[in-house]
Structure 1
């Protein structure tokens, strides 16, 4: 049974995706932290282009995926969303000065005449200033989601062949291998242990959040349409009693598959109580409606199906009532889902039918991030690290709305949670988020 779909547990299963040396190194760092409840499931690849294939091999067995860097992460995400939340180990940080020091001590490259990939140019320049090294002949190629390993290799190789550098510093294992094959001096810039530990903490946060999300209550109301209701329900309405029993029997197979309880709600409807994770799995991540297909096979009646999600049973049932009313008003053929945000989403009986729920929802999220980043720029804040209180002040909204905004950005791959800062006062420290404004493009 997949960890992220099974019973609640304190152990977070983290899938580690990367080249074999990275996988072994991160596993060694993870083993050092024996006090944290986590389990690693690893999948190594030889080339970054195989990142998604490696991730899909283990996706059913983990709560979250952790990629070796932004390049394999973007390769995996470029073919569609992954079944579980995902994040990656950031480039740069203390890895750059460490690589430069290795270059000086080992004589592999001259740090003053070198090409560097993946790292932000401003970080490179600031590092050289801090180390009191000249950077006039240092060439940088930043990573963007449309940059390939081949482009990184050509960048390094062309500069070296022209005599403009003494060698290369790369974060991409396949690029390092090609430079080795070409006889070009180079250093592999691997993430520092501190960076790996922080990435593991971030992965645990995402995995825990996803598991808690999947354990939320989901309630489905299945109701007979009003046009089939007798004016007075009584034991003498045998045909109607038989119809209700047939509806109940039609619900049971799907309910068993999602480990749900089927309860009589009133004379005209049933409640199906389950968890969000089970419902998500049974509906292919809400690509189709539950029960509509099986009911149509057994009955000649198009039942009305409404799905409610919520943090409590009461909230989920209220949302389910709103959803089934919407289904009744729509005239049949569609179920409706209503979550905590209150927006009804139509779901078809079969996965092939197009629905608004399958439309990409990145544009509004990117616009939200763009507005937040613009406000941070106006305040001369280039850190791109915020918490809910900061977002609340920027957007002029409540803390609850700000937290929802940050979670939405995380779900859209435009931010990722960071370990809380050290508490300066009594109480639980707020969760900080790293905004990924580089994903906005130009």
Structure 2
């Protein structure tokens, strides 16, 4: 079965890209031409799920789609640096007798254009460059180039954007479009294919879902015969077997009230919406959500994944019943799933290990704090906020902050009084 490559871009670039894709027998090409940047998302939306990978003819369409955020498969754009730009400058120099200093450029960063000119042996450097991050309009680029040309500072414009090229031509400004080279397109397609292979490998990694469920909740409050207890456990197993079948996985018991489901990363990733939500166990399988505490482990082998799932379960239990956490093969931890306060932190960090040696705090505690600060986008926090984020007691949070203060890794920078009758809360600034 062929891979579907979606290609979106300007008409002239797509001709080159499409001719290159014919060299890849494993690819099937879906081509979308745009003429205005504001139409890109509308053109792409009906086909967003029709491709395994997306290739864009330049930085602007790529940035627009990336900001849109609806494409979840590998994406890339064809760079205009390298042979593409060299071909354009060679034409200007030998056919038009125009020096680099008399040309206005866009898209490239100062550093990459400087390096390119240096490596190409072009002396004197450039004078006029409009660099932009993300999205820019054709009108804005055209205004930049036209102004310099009208003032006599330049003799020509070099643009990477097709719509700016058309706009400048309409205004009568001498303009030269940097088009992708076949070798550049080939390199990007090879990169996309390698990325797809890597993601396919990750999808087939082993995933283990370790669940703790009390199968006897419905029997609480009375005295029951042994058969009643066995029937309750059998009912739980039947529900879990249906759930395991849904995941194309296998089920095994891992201790009293503990069950492990073995499946693949890709399947579990889909079931949890990219490891962000908990699946609806109650609606689909009759398993009460608040009765399940779960750890998900990813590993290269079943044994590694099971160990990681057990570790993730411990982290979930630390946060209380009915929480779900994920432990990945790179030792990063994510969770709780379904929470607006979901954190992502690492259990292994050289920097935090060094800090851990200076304090009585574990690397895991420091990693959680680091993740909370990054999520809050501030280095200031009080004990109440830390306790809420970590789901620990306020006194435990105060102990963490006081320990950091005592080791010179935090300092008190103020006080807050949310309640007139309560004692003020110290605000700490973490200084590591």
In the alignment, is residue 97 of structure 1 matched against residue 83 of structure 2? Answer: no
Q: Does 1:260 align with 2:249?
A: yes
Q: Does 1:223 align with 2:212?
A: yes
Distance 1:148 1:113 in 2: 23
Q: How many Å separate the matches in 2 of 1:297 and 1:247? A: 9
1:14-413 pair list within 5 angstroms: 14-34=5-25, 37-52=26-41, 57-80=46-69, 82-103=71-92, 107=96, 113-121=102-110, 124=113, 138-145=127-134, 147-225=136-214, 236-251=225-240, 254-266=243-255, 268-290=257-279, 292-294=281-283, 298-299=287-288, 302-348=291-337, 351=338, 353-357=339-343
Q: 104-113 or 316-325, which moves further after superposition? A: 104-113
| 1:389-413 CA distance string (max 9 Å, x none) | xxxxxxxxxxxxxxxxxxxxxxxxx
TM-superposed deviation, 1:195 = 1.2
Q: Compute the displacement of 1:87 (Å).
A: 2.4
Alignment partner of 2:144: what SS?
Answer: helix
Task: Give 1:13 shift.
Answer: 4.1
Matches of 1:134 and 1:328, distance apart in 2: 64
Q: TM-score, normalised by structure 1?
A: 0.66
How far, CA to CA, are the matches of 2:99 and 2:332 in structure 1?
A: 59
- Quick one: distance in 2 between partners of 1:172 and 1:300? 52
Give the match's secondary structure for 1:318.
Answer: helix
1:271/1:130 Cα in 2 relative to 1: closer, same or farther (>3 Å)? closer
For residues 50-97 of structure 1, the C-alpha deviation after alignment (integer angstroms, 9 at most, x for no partner) is: 545555544434443322223322222224474123222222111122
Distance 1:237 1:328, change over 3 A: farther
CA spacing shift, 1:119–1:32, aligned 2, 3 Å: same
Is contact 2:208-2:305 (8 Å) kept?
Answer: yes
Structure 1 unaligned runs (5+)? 1-8, 369-442
**Offset of residue 112 of structure 1:** 5.5
Shift of residue 313 of structure 1? Answer: 0.8
Tell me how far 1:189 sits from its aligned partner.
0.6
Q: How big is the alpha-carbon RMSD for the aligned residues of Structure 1 and Structure 2?
A: 3.7
Segment drifting more, 315-324 vs 46-55: 46-55
TM-score by length of 2: 0.67
Residues 117 and 125 in structure 2, CA contact (< 8 A), matched pair in contact too: no
More deviation, 56-65/157-166: 56-65
Structure 2 regions of 5+ residues with no counterpart? 352-432
1:307-350 deviation digits (Å, cap 9, x = unpaired): 111111111111112223333443323112111234443234xx
SS at match of 1:259: coil
SS of equivalent to 2:85: helix
Q: Point out the structure with max Rg over C-alpha.
A: 2
Q: Shift in Å at residue 226 of structure 1? A: 9.0
- CA–CA separation in structure 2 for the residues paired with 1:214 and 1:227: 35
Decide whether the 8 Å contact of 1:225 with 1:304 is kept in 2.
Answer: no
DSSP 3-state at the match of 1:78: helix
SS of aligned partner of 1:274? strand
**Aligned pair count?**
344
Cα deviation 1:236-280 (Å, max 9, x = unaligned) = 533333333333344456544443334444553333222111111
Deviation of 1:172 (Å): 0.7
Task: Give 3-state SS (helix, strand or coil) of 1:279's partner.
Answer: helix
- CA separation of 1:252 and 1:182: change in aligned 2, threshold 3 A: farther
8 A contact 1:250–1:294 mirrored in 2:
no
Off by >6 Å, runs of 4+ in structure 1: 129-134
The 2-side partners of 1:268 and 1:229 are apart by 14
Residue 424 of structure 1 is matched in structure 2 by none
